[in-house]
Amino acid sequence: MFELMGAGSEQMASGGPRRADARRNIDAIVEAAADCLGRRPEASVADVAKEAGVGRVTVYGHFPSRAELVDAAVVHVLEQVDVALKSVDLQGPPREALARYIRASWEHTGRSLSLVAAAEKELASERIHQLHERLAERPVRVLERGQADGVFSDDLPISWMVAVLHRLIHGAADEVGRANIHPSDAAELIVTTVLRAFAPGHVEG
């Protein structure tokens, strides 16, 4: 160990191997947190450390609180969701495009119900909203096109429509968690509710 420090002191000082080791540990911890919390919202730091193959001290060294660990896991999963949603076709008739977006969003939310529950328990609602801002941008153009085409109400602000949409998705996750609705029914319930709520006047979807 002392030989390594002596021979590679310059590299260590510049953050080489040590920084690389730290980065690997962080990546392993975040992935383990996403997996553990994705299975059980009450998963402990010890559970995450065991799955990541590190000690609790190492976890706390990078994430001083469980809330920070949950935050990092949510960021990690949302980055993956963002990449996946890029492949969703949002062209064509706005109502159909919005329905495709909702189904794709629910597909990923439905896989992360436990993580959603952990986030809602550990993180402030403002932080959850901030984390979803990038995803919230995706349906904006679809909603704008729908208003221009007259298939969505132009009395509703776009920002409000986006907020309602994402709150419905999270509300559905909560209802699934309470066993009030079946996961396989959630996407179509959201689609039906949104299209009816956003329709101009009394027109229904």
Name the pLDDT band for 2 (thresholds 50, 70, 90): very low
Q: What is the pLDDT of residue 7?
A: 39
Distance from C-alpha of 198 to C-alpha of 98, rounded to nearest angstrom:
11
Per-residue pLDDT for 5 more than 50?
no
**Residue whose C-alpha is closest to residue 143's, from 153, 133, 134, 135:** 153
Q: What is the pLDDT of residue 205?
A: 45
Q: What is the pLDDT of residue 101?
A: 93
pTM over cut 0.85: no
Per-residue pLDDT for 52 more than 50?
yes
Distance from C-alpha of 105 to C-alpha of 115, rounded to nearest angstrom:
15
Per the CB < 8 A criterion, the answer to whether 47 and 37 are in contact is no
